[in-house]
Structure 1
Amino acid sequence: MVEFERTLTLHHPLPDVVAYLADFSHAEEWDPGIVSCRPTMADVPVSEGVEWVSVSTFCGVRTGLRCRLARLEDQRLTFVGRNRTATSTDDLIFRRENGATLLTYRARIEFHGLARLASPFLREEVEHLGDEVADRMAQAVDSHFGVGGDSTG
């Protein structure tokens, strides 16, 4: 299993940030590994249990992942993605701080089968991905709502 955690300060209202990030189809904008991300059912409102199919590249390998919104709360989102080689859990915890939104983003990837043997060798790549996600997420939120100031923290 490999993990990363990043904390970001986003200069936009917490409910708006949560609503934007709860729609996982926006992950194309903030996750540099995701090539495409589409809901499995059209015209379904974002709610717990909704699923998306994403295509991503990681370490040069293109793979599909079925992602489900496992938790949708006012200050917390959890997405669980699965395919035959891995289960990824993205846990986003939000809180208000000085008029901004403080986001703690935790990602965990658990590899299955033979892919599990590669886990120790992928830690550096996952850490690098964590840095890129944090940078791109702040930029995507700013682009979506309009720049609200310095959004890295």
Structure 2
Amino acid sequence: MAHTLRRTVVTRWDADSVFAYLLDFEHAEEWDAGTVRCERLAGDGGVGTRYRNVSKFLGRETTLDYEVEKLVPGSQFVITGGNKTVVSKDTVTVTSRGNGAEVEYRAEMTFSGVAGVISPLLTPFLTKLADDTEAQLLRTLDSKAAGA
């Protein structure tokens, strides 16, 4: 079963700065409620750049290897990650909004194996994680705006 979670935040930080910050996926440690660690493995931040992300979900750590698959400079990128039980395709779209920016974060997760069988039971936990990430993303971006 596939799960799609979408959240949108509006921040005071300008769109160019927000996009550059989010595209460097190592920053996920700061804004993603589930990320424990994230390191760049290869690449310059563009298409083909690879990251190793360690996340905590339901009290357990899991590692996903991500790769930037699509990049529309200044406005959108798609990064896909996975391991033996889940594939996550994340699309981040940043648009200017007044002096700030609007960020839409969309995660499409497909589970396999035992996780695929129980994935309907994961919906409330994934929704809470998305809500927590939305709040943390907004706090982080607005904090960066205040320091800019």
* Other structure's SS at 1:40 match: strand
Note if 1:16 corresponds to 2:22: no
Alignment partner of 2:36: what SS? strand
Other-structure match for 1:46: 45
Q: Percent of aligned pairs with the same residue? A: 29
**Structure 1 spans left out of the alignment, 5+ residues:** 149-153
Shift of 1:32: 1.5
Contact 2:7–2:106 (Cα < 8 Å) also in 1: yes
Q: Which runs of 4+ in 1 moved over 4 A?
A: none
- Cα RMSD, aligned residues only: 1.5
Q: Aligned residue for 1:107? A: 107
- Alpha-carbon distance in 1 for matches of 2:98, 2:143: 21
Is 1:34 matched up with 2:59?
no
State the TM-score, normalized to the length of structure 2. Answer: 0.92
C-alpha distance in structure 2 between counterparts of 1:35 and 1:4, whole Å: 20
User: Aligned equivalents of 1:25 and 1:146: distance in 2?
Assistant: 21
- The separation in 1 between residues aligned to 2:45 and 2:144, in whole angstroms, is 18
Say how many residue pairs are matched.
146
The structural deviation recorded for 1:54 is 1.0
- 2:67 aligns to what SS in structure 1? strand
Partner residue in 2 for 1:146: 146
Kindly state the Cα deviation for residue 55 of structure 1 after the two structures are TM-superposed: 0.9
Structure 2 counterpart of 1:3, which letter? T
Q: Structure 2, unaligned stretches of length 5 or more?
A: none
Match of 1:7 in 2: 8
Map of 1:76 onto structure 2: 76
